[in-house]
Amino acid sequence: MYYQQDRGCLNIELVGCFDDDSAQKLVDLLKKNAKGTSIVFVRTDRITEFRPSGLTSFHDGLAILKDLCYRLVFTGKEANKLAPAWTGCF
């Protein structure tokens, strides 16, 4: 996972297998770095595999992020797998 924060925007690129550990790292990264951001892009093009437990862990972890959830934008070929049903993806 790589990330860059610039001018109120947080860009996160996920790489490799998305499992429980990846899900927890993503939630932790969002909790730590998303304060003061207006939008968070989660890029999924470099994910090679999804583990169902990782998706469940990530979606469960979104609850603790509160209003940040509404600033998440999922992009890339795997966006529809990672994004919760109520968010948009491109």
Confidence (pLDDT) at 34: 79
Confidence (pLDDT) at 87: 65
Bridge partners of 82, per DSSP, are none
Q: Is the pTM of this model over 0.85?
A: yes
CA distances from 26 to 23, 67 (A): 5, 16
Confidence (pLDDT) at 86: 65
- Place domain 2-82 in its CATH homologous superfamily: STAS domain (3.30.750.24)
CB-based contacts of 28, cutoff 8 Å, min separation 6: none
Confidence (pLDDT) at 49: 94
Looking at residue 31, the DSSP 8-state letter turns out to be H
Q: Residue ranges per domain, the chain?
A: 2-82
Q: Which residues of 11-44 are buried (b: 16+ CB within 10 A; e: fewer)?
A: bbbbeeebbeebbeebbebbeeebeebeebbbbb
If phi over 0 gives left and psi between -120 and 50 gives alpha, with beta otherwise, what is residue 70? alpha
Confidence (pLDDT) at 70: 73
pLDDT in tens, the chain (90 residues): 999 988 889 999 999 999 999 999 999 999 898 778 889 999 999 999 999 999 999 989 888 887 777 788 999 998 988 888 766 555
